[in-house]
């Protein structure tokens, strides 16, 4: 079972947020225990947008505070109702099916369309056995789909907590390559390391030598990593 944090309380928080953001009939449908049965889960996961809609979430101040307390580093900024509904469903599925759930969720990655991938990568910091998802996270970082990369990089504590130094460094470098908002990467300063500093300096020098613009924030990030006060 999930033991990394209070999953039952977190599911309750997600349900509370969903109740305020989706139609009542969609909320009743989502929380039907039938949807977490192995023979119905795939259909429920795929049907989520049609049931919940895709509106952006609105959270209260109390909900934002509870989110920080229950899962530090996770941000729901710019999440949609279907994304959160899928994440809540994934968590409930894991609780209902224990170890068998991992292989079933793993199989979803192979066939998932973009929005399904976004939900899956958003869920990995909330799923059982964190190290189980490392290879899948590394594969996601290789994606050419910007929204998928952003789901992994932005407000997602999983990479900082679970990737080794090499994979972490490659993710940060790819964030610059693909013009992502590096400031939204959780744990950036805590995971600073000499090899990453070297890679970023080399990258800046290569761009300067080619007459290309240095990405916004790159110099500041290097300085923050090397400043003994930080």
Pair 13, 109 in one domain: yes
The 10s digit of each residue's pLDDT in 31-86 is 999 999 999 999 999 999 999 999 999 999 999 999 999 999 999 999 999 999 99
**Structural contact between residues 76 and 88, judged by C-beta atoms closer than 8 angstroms:** no
- Amino acid 215: pLDDT: 86
What is the average per-residue pLDDT within 205-214? 90
Phi first, then psi: give them for residue 130, nearest 5 degrees: -50, -40
What is the average pLDDT score of the chain?
Answer: 93
**How far apart, in whole angstroms, are the C-alpha atoms of residue 125 and residue 68?**
14
Examine the domain organization and report whether 18 and 110 are in the same domain: yes
Residues 116 and 19 in one domain: yes
Q: Give the list of residues 6+ apart from residue 221 with CB closer than 8 angstroms, or none.
A: 182, 188, 200
The answer to whether 165 and 195 have CB atoms below 8 angstroms apart is yes
Residue 168: what are its φ and ψ, rounded to 5°? -60, -45
On whether both 33 and 86 belong to a single domain, the answer is yes
Task: Please check whether residues 101 and 36 belong to one and the same domain.
Answer: yes
d(CA 174, CA 129): 26
Q: Which residues contact 49 (CB under 8 A, 6 or more apart)?
A: 82, 115
The span from the CA of 208 to the CA of 37, in Å, is: 55
48 and 161 co-located in one domain: no
The count of other CB atoms within 10 Å of the CB of residue 37 is: 13
Which of 111, 128, 145 is the C-terminal boundary of a domain? Answer: 128
What is the number of structural domains in the chain? 2
**In a shared domain, residues 109 and 153:** no
Q: Are residues 52 and 81 in the same domain?
A: yes
* 119 and 138 both lie in a single domain: no
| Model confidence pLDDT, tens digit, residues 185-196 | 999 999 999 999
Asked whether residue 180 falls in the same domain as residue 208, the answer is yes
Q: What pLDDT was estimated at residue 1?
A: 35
Find tokens 């007459």 and name the residue: 211
Is 60 exceeded by the pLDDT of residue 87?
A: yes
Same domain, 147 and 137: yes
Owning domain of residue 227: 130-230
**Same domain? 31 vs 119:** yes
- If one counts every other C-beta atom within 10 angstroms of the C-beta of residue 207, the result is 15
Cβ-Cβ contacts under 8 Å for 66 (sequence gap 6 or more): 13
Identify the domain boundary among 128, 160, 189. 128
Q: Strand pairing partners for 154?
A: 185
pLDDT tens digits for 128-153?
Answer: 899 999 999 999 999 999 999 999 99
Q: Provide the whole-model pTM.
A: 0.93
């Amino acid at each position: 079972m999930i033991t990394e944090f209070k999953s039952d309380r977190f599911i309750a928080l997600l349900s509370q947020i969903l109740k305020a953001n989706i139609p009542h009939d969609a909320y009743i449908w989502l929380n039907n225990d039938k949807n977490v049965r192995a023979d119905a889960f795939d259909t429920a996961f795929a049907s989520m947008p049609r049931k919940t809609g895709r509106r952006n979430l609105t959270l209260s101040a109390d909900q934002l505070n509870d989110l920080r307390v229950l899962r530090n580093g996770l941000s729901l900024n710019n999440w949609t109702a279907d994304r959160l509904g899928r994440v809540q469903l994934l968590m409930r599925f894991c609780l209902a099916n224990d170890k068998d759930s991992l292989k079933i969720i793993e199989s979803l990655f192979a066939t998932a369309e973009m929005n399904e991938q976004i939900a899956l990568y958003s869920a990995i910091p909330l799923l059982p056995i964190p190290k189980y998802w490392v290879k899948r996270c590394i594969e996601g970082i290789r994606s050419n789909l910007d929204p998928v990369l952003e789901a992994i990089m932005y407000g997602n504590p999983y990479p900082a907590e679970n990737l080794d130094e090499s994979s972490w460094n490659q993710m940060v470098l790819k964030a610059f390559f693909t013009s992502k908002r590096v400031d939204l990467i959780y744990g950036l300063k805590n995971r600073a390391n000499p090899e990453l500093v070297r890679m970023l300096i080399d990258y800046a020098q290569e761009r300067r030598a080619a007459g290309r613009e240095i990405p916004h924030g790159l110099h500041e990030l290097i300085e923050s990593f090397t400043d003994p006060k930080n």
